[in-house]
Amino acid sequence: MVEIKNLTKYYGSHPAVLDISFTVGDHEVLGFLGPNGAGKSTTMNMITGCLPATSGTVLVDGYDIAKDPMEVKRRIGYLPELPPVYPDMRVRDYLNFAAGLKRVPRGERKKQVEDAMERLKITDVQRRIIGNLSKGYRQRVGFAMALLGSPKFLILDEPTVGLDPTQVIEVRHLIQDLSRDHTIIFSTHILAEVTAVCERVVIINKGQIRAVDTIANIEASVSGDLRLKMKVEGEIMKVTNIIKGTQGVQEIEEVEYDSVGVNSFTVRVASDDVRKPLMSALLAEDCMVLEIASEKASLEEAFVKLTAPTAKQSSAEAFEALGREMDAAREAEEAAAAEESRSDADAAGEPKKTEQAAESAGAPAQKSGRGKQKKGGKH
């Protein structure tokens, strides 16, 4: 079991990973999903002991990476983002050398290296210089190295990067195959990958966890209500009334003219079960249902929703900031005007004071005009 508790990493003042916690059970394949710069590699480097955490703990089978790094490293096979392969060595020699570093007993090295090469389909290139291999093959050599020593846990950072589509499918099958004997955490930003090989995912964005759940639950949590897409032949008002009158139908969201006498409807419903009564009701009134399909939110939609601020949010934030800027400008203007009238009354103006009053109100006096224009422009 891998337990990650309140793990945090700051690069200078930048929080690359902020207070993340999750656990990975034995024999589980966990997808670590996030866009570029989310903090996936940083987290994996901390789990494997390649990077010290700023705070928080990583326990692997109960061993703390900070206190027992050797015990943890013995249990982990790591394929980092850039596999640390020696370009001048031949594939087989390199894997033999790596097996030695991983303390694989001499008597077992040959077999382990051969098994790993076979699993990654690199036996044919075993005598080639690593530096002359294609990127995809170098990735496979790094993967083979991660398998040496039969580690219980495999941490794979974007294992399919640089592979062609056929190889990607092969690696997916390999991960499925390896999951019988290993606990696997693998990172990716390719959604098809997680759906294909794992049941549970962690979604991370800007160093923070957005979701830890099964793919089904994550999809359900963002899907809200279910929609039916239907194509129905019949008079539009008649069809609309029948749909509206069917129990379980919540709303007709969209009606589109398709071809003569055929219209497409997007209908929000309580559950998939509404399809049967809906079809019966329409057929009873001689309206032909040409197509009916339910539409659930996909993991893709969930990913976008969980990792990207919505346009609504960003414009609301921008508008709030603009409001703050305008308030400060208005206060500065008022303060400047008050000071000016006082100076006029005294018949001895001191321009310095005007500037000071404006600045102390939160914004330089000359900026007030710009704030106004912006808000005017937005409206």
Nearest residue (CB) to Mg ion, 40 versus 138: 40
Considering CB distances under 5 to 8 angstroms, the limit depending on partner class, which of ligand ATP, Mg ion, none binds residue 38? ligand ATP
| Total site size for ligand ATP, rule CB under 6 A | 13
DSSP-derived letter for residue 52 is -
CB of 191 to Mg ion, least distance (A): 16
**Encoding tokens for residue 263?**
């219209």
160 interacts with ligand ATP by CB under 6 A: no
Residue whose CB is less far from Mg ion, 148 or 156: 156
Report if residue 39 touches ligand ATP, rule: CB under 6 A.
yes
Residue 29 beta carbon to ligand ATP: minimum distance, rounded to whole angstroms: 19
Query: Which residue, 188 or 368, has its beta carbon nearer to Mg ion?
Result: 188
Which of 38, 72, 168, 332 is close enough to bind ligand ATP by CB under 6 A? 38
Q: 2, 4, 7, 16: which one contacts ligand ATP (CB under 6 A)?
A: 16
Residues forming a β-bridge with 20: 7
37 contact choice in ligand ATP, Mg ion, none (CB below 5 to 8 Å, kind-dependent): ligand ATP
Could you tell me if 177 and 120 are in contact, meaning their C-beta atoms sit under 8 angstroms apart? no
Other C-beta atoms closer than 10 Å to the C-beta of 341 total 10
Strand pairing report for 226-233 and 249-259: unpaired
Under rule CB under 6 A, residue 40 binds ligand ATP: yes
Q: Does 48 help bind Mg ion (rule: CB under 5 A)?
A: no
CB 109 within 8 A of CB 100: yes
List all residues 6 or more positions away from 31 whose beta carbon is below 8 Å from its beta carbon: 186, 187, 188, 193, 194, 197, 198, 200, 201, 202
* Nearer to Mg ion among residue 156 and residue 178 (C-beta): 156
Q: Which residue in 189, 238, 372, 375 binds ligand ATP (CB under 6 A)?
A: 189
Partner in contact with 227, chosen from ligand ATP, Mg ion, none, beta carbon below 5 to 8 Å by kind = none
> Which C-beta is closer to ligand ATP: that of 201 or that of 328?
201
**Residues between 74 and 103 with contacts to ligand ATP, criterion CB under 6 A:** 81
Q: Which is nearer to ligand ATP, 34 or 149 (CB)?
A: 34
Nearest CA-CA partner of 159 in 138, 131, 179: 138
CA dihedral 166, 168, 169, 170 (to 10 degrees): 90
* Residue 130: both structure tokens together: 């690593």
CA angle, 120 as apex, 117 and 125 as ends, to 5°?
A: 55
Helices (H), the chain: 40-47, 69-75, 91-101, 106-119, 135-147, 165-178, 191-197, 215-223, 236-245, 275-284, 299-307, 311-346, 351-360, 368-378
Q: At its nearest, how many Å lie between ligand ATP and the CB of residue 266?
A: 35
d(CA 341, CA 55): 57
Locate 265 and state its tokens.
């409807």
The window from 81-89, 116-124, 250-258, 299-307 that contacts Mg ion (CB under 5 A) reads 81-89
Cα-to-chain-centroid distance, residue 31: 10
Helices (H) and strands (E) in the chain, counts: 14, 14
> Is residue 159 involved in binding ligand ATP (CB under 6 A)?
no
36 interacts with ligand ATP by CB under 6 A: yes
What is the C-alpha to C-alpha distance for residues 79 and 186, in angstroms, rounded to an integer?
9
Question: From residue 46 to residue 65, what is the string marking binding to ligand ATP with x (rule CB under 6 A)?
Answer: --------------------
DSSP label of 348 = -
Q: Which is nearer to Mg ion, 40 or 92 (CB)?
A: 40
Exactly one of 32, 41, 219, 243 binds Mg ion (CB under 5 A); which one?
41
**Which range, of 38-46, 138-146, 255-263, 347-355, touches ligand ATP by CB under 6 A?**
38-46
Identify what 16 binds: ligand ATP, Mg ion, none; CB under 5 to 8 Å per kind: ligand ATP
Q: Which of 101, 109, 136 is nearest to 122 (CA)?
A: 136
Member of 6, 11, 247, 318 binding ligand ATP (CB under 6 A) = 11
List of residues contacting Mg ion (CB under 5 A): 40-41, 81
Binding residues for ligand ATP (CB under 6 A): 11, 14, 16, 34, 36-42, 81, 189
